[in-house]
Amino acid sequence: MTPGVDRSALAGDPRFFRRVGPHTLAAVVDAAGADAPPRRLMLHRIAPLAVATGEDVSFCLNNRKYLPALAATQAAAVVVHPDMQDRVPETAVAIVASDPLVAWSKVAALFHPQPPVKPGIHPSAIIAASARIDPSVEIGPLVVIGENVVIGPRCRIAAMVVIGDSVEIGRDVRIGPHASLTHTLIGDRVYIYPGARIGQDGFGFAMTPEGFHTIPQVGRVLIEDDVEIGANTTVDRGTLEDTIIGAGTRIDNLVQIGHNVRIGRACVLVAQVGISGSTVLEDHVVLAGQAGLAGHLRIGAGTRVGGQSGVMADLPPRSEVIGSPAQPVKTFFKEIATIRRWIRRGSIPGQCDRPDATPNRDVD
């Protein structure tokens, strides 16, 4: 039986998400860091434009395709860019922000803050006597924590997490269910999503006539502050050097990071990216979904790599590439346009076009 849908709970269903409020308009505007005309108004929820009611605050991207939804919304208030504020219906208050997406994230966090950590250790957890765990830490069921582990204040360790010997974890870290960590040092405010595997052996071996010879992986994984690592992502520890993930980096689900990889500050790695060993990403690199990078490369700061690209050579800073093998975006699309012209004309340079040419036939 399909459960009934309560449309009023489509955003932030209280069965799953803690909700606080209502909040005054002034409190919402202050949280957003935005501007709005003063009005006595209480806002109870966040909601999409299409289903918002007279008690809700909504949000509109600075894109003309959303104008019909904005014009029809019943929301009490809408977070918008200055270019859109004149399009907000008279029934709604325009909360004007130079970056509406950032403002909206702050409003959403006001109504749906992270649940507070509940200090304590579940009785089913197995914790080595030498582990040093701050009293404010929350440890869930069936967690295993090894010798000499250090866990800082206000961390939340969810069910069935395994933390290997000597791992160190900073402040305000969240680790999702079934994650495992070994040979790792973690900074503050890191979020490791469910099922992530961090610190396992890198893929290192030598080939001999007798077979493969495994190379010991004696490096570590260093995760700096404010990093997020998505569900079922894997981060191999280094062979001799460390695998490093720079501060503020966001890593999506199902990403593979090989041994000795060094990722700079505030990089973005989208789902199913694969980075081979010893490759270096400088700061602010963006790798779109399913991009693959060969080993021992250097990707310059600010570079953007398109989805499903295959990067096989170093890239200078602020490159924009796509394709496999990856090449500059303008070059790639010029080639595509040229091939399409050839197809429309029905001829390709170098194609055999002799008058006496006959099709190949099977011979009995």
Query: Average pLDDT of the chain?
Result: 92
Which residue ranges form the domains of the chain, and what is each CATH number? 7-111 (3.40.1390.10), 122-178 (2.160.10.10)
In this structure, what token pair is assigned to residue 143? 């967690």
pLDDT of residue 10: 65
Mean pLDDT of 229-258: 97
Q: Which residues are CB-contacts of 23 (< 8 A; sequence separation ≥ 6)?
A: 31, 42, 43, 110, 111
Q: Which of 81, 112, 183, 259 is catalytic?
A: 259
- CA torsion angle 182 187 192 197 (round to 10): -20
The confidence band for 362, taking pLDDT boundaries of 50, 70 and 90, is: very low
41, 77 in Cβ contact below 8 A? Answer: yes
Nearest to 269 by CA among 284, 283, 256, 250: 250
Of 2-11, 313-322, 354-363, give the lowest mean pLDDT range. Answer: 354-363
129, 109 in Cβ contact below 8 A? Answer: no
Q: Is residue 259 annotated as part of the catalytic site, yes or no?
A: yes
d(CA 50, CA 48): 6
pLDDT of residue 337: 87
Query: Per-residue pLDDT for 93 more than 80?
Result: yes
Query: Per-residue pLDDT for 8 more than 80?
Result: no
Residue 157 bridge partners (DSSP) = 139, 175
Residue 30's φ and ψ, nearest 5 degrees, are -65, -45
The 10 Å CB-count burial string (b at 16+, else e) for 159-174 is bbbbbbebbebbbbbb
Residue 43 bridge partners (DSSP) = 23
pLDDT of residue 262: 98
pLDDT of residue 9: 55
Q: Detail the DSSP E strand segments found in 156-214.
A: 156-157, 162-163, 168-169, 174-175, 180-181, 184-186, 191-192, 197-200, 205-208, 211-214
CA 82-85-91 angle, to 5 degrees, is 155
d(CA 253, CA 101): 22
Using one digit for the tens of pLDDT, what is the confidence trace for 12-43? 888 888 899 899 999 999 999 999 999 999 99
Mean pLDDT of 93-99: 95
12, 19 in Cβ contact below 8 A? Answer: yes
Collapse the DSSP code of 151 into the 3-class scheme (helix H, G, I; strand E, B; otherwise coil) and give the result.
strand
Nearest to 326 by CA among 340, 338, 339, 308: 308
Q: Which residues are CB-contacts of 354 (< 8 A; sequence separation ≥ 6)?
A: none
Q: Which residues are CB-contacts of 105 (< 8 A; sequence separation ≥ 6)?
A: none
The confidence band for 1, taking pLDDT boundaries of 50, 70 and 90, is: very low
Query: Per-residue pLDDT for 233 more than 50?
Result: yes
Query: Per-residue pLDDT for 354 more than 80?
Result: no
